[in-house]
Amino acid sequence: MPQDTITIPKTTTTTDIEYVVANKEELEKPFRVIIQNDDVTPMEFVVAVLMQIFGLTADRAVEVMFEAHEKNRALVTTLPLKEAQERVYMAQSIARNAGYPLSFYLEPDE
């Protein structure tokens, strides 16, 4: 009885990974967490994330949300790099899991 032959295509995997190396001094430097406006994420969701992840009061969270809405971006808080990265990751993960494109980025606080 003839056997069926299966041809497995040859695959090549390439990974482009960018590593950012920071020394202890850079990790402790303050970084500004900036929220970017988008036209999809509900305002109430933004306010909740700002309060829960970044510890803003309700009034301050509403101010930041409206500033981002009007000026396309707003300062959320200033934190050491590692903490800022962790909080941005948490906030964006919560947003993605809820189906929203809410995004933040970091700027050195010089």
- 73 CB contacts (<8 Å, ≥6 apart)? 34, 35, 36, 37
User: pTM value?
Assistant: 0.75
**Hey, where are the domains in the chain?**
39-108
- Residue 76 sits at φ, ψ, to 5 deg, of -90, -55
Q: Which two tokens stand for residue 82?
A: 């590692």
pLDDT at position 28, please?
74
Does 39-108 carry CATH code 3.40.640.10? no
Cα torsion angle, 58, 59, 60, 61, sign: positive
Q: What is the pLDDT along the chain (110 residues), one digit of tens a residue?
A: 555 555 555 555 555 666 556 666 666 789 999 999 999 999 999 999 999 999 999 999 999 999 999 999 999 999 999 999 999 999 999 999 999 999 999 999 97
